[in-house]
Amino acid sequence: MELHTLYRLLFRHYGPQHWWPAESPYEMMVGAILTQNTAWANVKKAIANFGEKLTPAFVTEISDGELEEIIRPSGFFRQKAARLKTLTGWYARYRYDIETARAQGTDTLRMELLALKGVGRETADSILLYALQKPVFVIDAYTRRVFARLGFAVPSEYEVFRRFFEENLPRDPALYNEYHALIVRHAATVCRKRPDCADCPFAPSCPGARNDD
């Protein structure tokens, strides 16, 4: 099945996902760090703990200990607090102005983000796509699982799989935004570890479909 056909089926089945759920591009960046190795429900609690104060200036000014306390619900809070400080330090290069950051080329921004401690490919690409609206397709474990079951030859290398999407879809950040969100929705609710194939729009043609009858 073609990537665009899959997208249309997912969209028809689940509707728009309205990602990324955040009030500002900076909050998206913070969410991209906090969501590492934890469920989104814990990220929401950590973000709620900031109240009205989730700004780069606030994160820069408070102590490591204060930041750790605020984000404690997201788990790995010491490590994540250090990562947030580092990421915010990177954002300071652009005077905390998303348009100034956006004016840079995608490759430059990607290299800068990947050079930060604790920012891997998935986190960097989530920031590029959702906060900076760059046409970068985010790959995660859900993407691998769903596409492997659907019969795609999923490459082990992140970059190869990312390029596969980008070369077979229009370079459109809005499309990549919605597509990734739909994959996450599908993998989290239907194509789970143990898939619910009876509820799946792909079941008739999916080579990985389970028949539990």
Where do contacts with ligand SF4 occur on this chain (CB under 6 A)?
146, 149-150, 190-191, 195-197, 200, 202-203, 206, 208-209
Instruction: State in angstroms the smallest separation of the CB of 60 from ligand SF4.
Output: 43
Q: Which is nearer to ligand SF4, 116 or 150 (CB)?
A: 150
Instruction: State in angstroms the smallest separation of the CB of 172 from ligand SF4.
Output: 24
- Alpha-carbon radius of gyration of the chain: 18
Q: Which is nearer to ligand SF4, 37 or 205 (CB)?
A: 205
Instruction: State in angstroms the smallest separation of the CB of 198 from ligand SF4.
Output: 9
The residue type of 198 is A
Annotate 65-116 with DSSP letters as a single string: HHHHHHHGGGSSHHHHHHHHHHHHHHHHTTTT-HHHHHTS-HHHHHHHHHTS
d(CA 28, CA 193): 27
Question: Tokens representing 137?
Answer: 């397709």
Q: Which is nearer to ligand SF4, 110 or 149 (CB)?
A: 149
Cβ(120)–Cβ(168) below 8 Å? no
Closest by Cα among 159, 135, 32 to 87: 32
Q: Which is nearer to ligand SF4, 19 or 152 (CB)?
A: 152
Q: Which is nearer to ligand SF4, 89 or 151 (CB)?
A: 151
Instruction: State in angstroms the smallest separation of the CB of 206 from ligand SF4.
Output: 3
Instruction: State in angstroms the smallest separation of the CB of 207 from ligand SF4.
Output: 8
Provide the 8-state DSSP code for 137: -
